[in-house]
Structure 1
Amino acid sequence: MAQSQSRSKSQLHYDSSKLGQSLLHVLFLLLSAACILPLVLVVAVSFSDETTVIANGFKFWPEKFSLRAYDLVFLDYMQIIRSYGVSLFVTVVGTIISLILVSLFAYPLSRSDLKYRGFFAFLIFFTMLFNGGLVPWYLVYVNYLHLMDSIWALILPLLLTPFYVIIMRTFFSTTIPSELLESAKIDGSGEWYTFMRIVLPLSLPVLATIGLFNTLNYWNDWFLSLLYIDESKNVSVQYLMYRTLNSIQYILSNSAVANGISQGGGSLDLPSKTLQMAMAVVGIGPIIFAYPFFQKFFVKGLTLGAVKG
């Protein structure tokens, strides 16, 4: 009798566990669909005819196929290629240098034997709360660093983010065992050797996480191009899309310009909604392939070190 009751309880536990897993799978499928379907909608609308979209709204499948939006986006395809090159260079170089600086700043702050540790930690925390404002920021880069129209003006402002330093410092202090560092020191290992050969290989999760954050920041940035870049050869692809869309919206909203184009024999067949979606597709670019590379480290890098064991 007792054995029968034990089996029924075990079966009940198994069934409830299986039901719980099924519900979790359904939940994750719904969440995945909520993330993927908007992207599918953007791609579908970008290949749709503008008049059909205005008349019938957005559809997950183009009612009338059209490449008019992409024709406008790639009207100056050489500029698109050049801007893609700028964005790729800024993203790759900026992410690598940023990881180097953040890790070099965060590691000493994680060491309890660092002299004036509290002072340096206060400096990095203070910049999270206060800053000099846009005008001094602009004057420093233009008048003192002379970076106007330089590609480095798109890299330097985002190199050292205080929040990333705090994340990495927390990871170092809670995940890297102090006993390991002490044993390395006893074996004659210097600080540089310990950092490069012991600490960094154990810190791949947080490095990948901060690397992903930096990659997204650099790729999606358009404001720095707006501030510091006048020459078209150095603008990022995001700012190029932003500028093109603003130009078309200006033409469509300005009757004098529209009349001038019409009288000159030009065409005002300029899409608006589908053009926005086409620019979003072009703007996503290769950055969408960064997620599979970082994904296996991403969650672990965010949670590992959050609770000290």
Structure 2
Amino acid sequence: MKAARAAHSPNAISKSSNYVITALFWLYTIACVFPLVLVIAVSLTDEMSILQNGYQLIPKAFSTIAYELLFEDSAQIVRSYGVSIFVTVMGTLLSLLLTAAFAYPISRRELPYRNGFAFFIFFTMLFNGGLVPWYLVYVKYLHMGDSIWALIIPMLVQPFNILIMRTFFQTTIPGALIEAATIDGAGEFKIFYKIVLPLSLPVIATIALFNTLLYWNDWFLSLIFISDNETVSVQYLMYKTMLNIQYLTSNVQASEALTRGGGTLQLPSEAIRMAMAVIGIGPIILAYPFFQKYFVKGLTIGAVKG
């Protein structure tokens, strides 16, 4: 009798449906992993083999020349990796703190002028001061040129993330719970730290993942504010390397000068592009399983346990 009730429960599915769903998820996983594997394979393929046979999952001619060329200046790559890791970690933590500190007050109905504060944030999503005033403020008045903080501060507050977190606070955190804590004598900071944040792990993990990807993939701030090689991010370093390769391979005068000197210019441009993509991925692939743990924990922390 129990087995029959279990078979007809609302969450029960047949074996054939389970097999189909499992197969679909396996296909989806392969579709997600295949491009990454292909990029790694092409980065380890000889340039002539790529030109003759195209991209192949199993290289016909194995070569590590692309990585050898990139790591000729390994000290610069390591230094840029350190800059990117510091900027990503520090920027994500500070951005989360400021986002939560702004989103929580405007989610409370008791806050005076909360609609005005929300409109101010929304307005900055539609209009900005332009690139030149933005640059002058950070370089001339805040003196952040060639500073690592120039890679962190401009992206600390993202209006879209604030609106997402505010909506989560309004729709998920029970108002009765906050009122009960207030009656028990808890202050606003204690309510925020002890009640709101533990119940908000899903949205915190989501915003943290957004910020992590934003900071790690950013190269534009290095292009705008950094003029030396000491503080550039790894993404900008790869971008600059790619531009140099494109210049050398497309510069007719450089090719002619090498030919007159008895040399030839042979750069594995395709393999180097893929090798730069592999280097640029770096530790960012570890962010997804790390944040997934907090997704699951956040979804179950407020559940009723029998």
Shift of the 15–236 alpha-carbon distance from structure 1 to 2, 3 Å rule, reads closer
Task: Encode CA deviations 1:88-116: one digit per residue, 9 max, x unaligned.
Answer: 00000000000000000000011010000
Q: Give secondary structure in 1 for the equivalent of 2:230.
A: helix
Q: Which runs of 5+ in 2 are unaligned?
A: 300-306
Q: Give secondary structure in 2 for the equivalent of 1:74.
A: helix
In the other structure, the counterpart of 2:196 is: 199
In the other structure, the counterpart of 1:111 is: 108
Query: Which range moved further: 134-143 or 45-54?
Result: 134-143
2:223 pairs, out of 206, 223, 226, with 226
1:247 pairs, out of 238, 241, 244, with 244
In the other structure, the counterpart of 2:284 is: 287
Deviation of 1:64 after TM superposition, in Å, equals 0.7
Deviation of 1:297 after TM superposition, in Å, equals 3.9
Q: Quick check: 2:201–2:295 contact (8 Å CA) kept in 1?
A: no
Q: Quick check: 2:87–2:148 contact (8 Å CA) kept in 1?
A: yes
Deviation of 1:18 after TM superposition, in Å, equals 2.6
In the other structure, the counterpart of 2:52 is: 55
Shift of the 93–120 alpha-carbon distance from structure 1 to 2, 3 Å rule, reads same
- 1:254 corresponds to which letter in structure 2? N
Whether 2:153 is the aligned partner of 1:156: answer yes
Distance 2:235 2:264 in 1: 26
Q: Quick check: 1:209–1:297 contact (8 Å CA) kept in 2?
A: no
Aligned residues: 294
Deviation of 1:206 after TM superposition, in Å, equals 1.0
Whether 2:36 is the aligned partner of 1:39: answer yes
Distance 2:298 2:171 in 1: 12
Distance 2:287 2:270 in 1: 27
In the other structure, the counterpart of 2:78 is: 81
Distance 1:286 1:262 in 2: 41
Deviation of 1:72 after TM superposition, in Å, equals 1.1
Q: Quick check: 2:199–2:298 contact (8 Å CA) kept in 1?
A: no
Q: Give secondary structure in 2 for the equivalent of 1:64.
A: coil
In the other structure, the counterpart of 2:172 is: 175
Please, what TM-score do these two structures have when normalized by structure 1? Answer: 0.90
In the other structure, the counterpart of 1:3 is: none
2:63 pairs, out of 51, 60, 66, with 66
Q: Which runs of 5+ in 1 are unaligned?
A: 1-6, 303-309
Q: Quick check: 1:209–1:301 contact (8 Å CA) kept in 2?
A: no
Distance 1:177 1:14 in 2: 28
Q: Give secondary structure in 2 for the equivalent of 1:146.
A: coil
Distance 1:264 1:197 in 2: 72
1:277 pairs, out of 264, 274, 278, with 274
- 2:60 corresponds to which letter in structure 1? E
Deviation of 1:261 after TM superposition, in Å, equals 4.1
Task: Encode CA deviations 1:76-135: one digit per residue, 9 max, x unaligned.
Answer: 000000000000000000000000000000000110100001100100111111112222
1:134 pairs, out of 123, 127, 131, with 131
- 1:271 corresponds to which letter in structure 2? P
Distance 1:260 1:145 in 2: 46
Runs of 4+ in 1 over 6 A off after TM superposition: 13-16, 299-302
Q: Give secondary structure in 1 for the equivalent of 2:72.
A: coil
In the other structure, the counterpart of 1:99 is: 96
Shift of the 256–293 alpha-carbon distance from structure 1 to 2, 3 Å rule, reads same
Distance 1:42 1:242 in 2: 17
Deviation of 1:28 after TM superposition, in Å, equals 1.4
2:162 pairs, out of 149, 161, 165, with 165
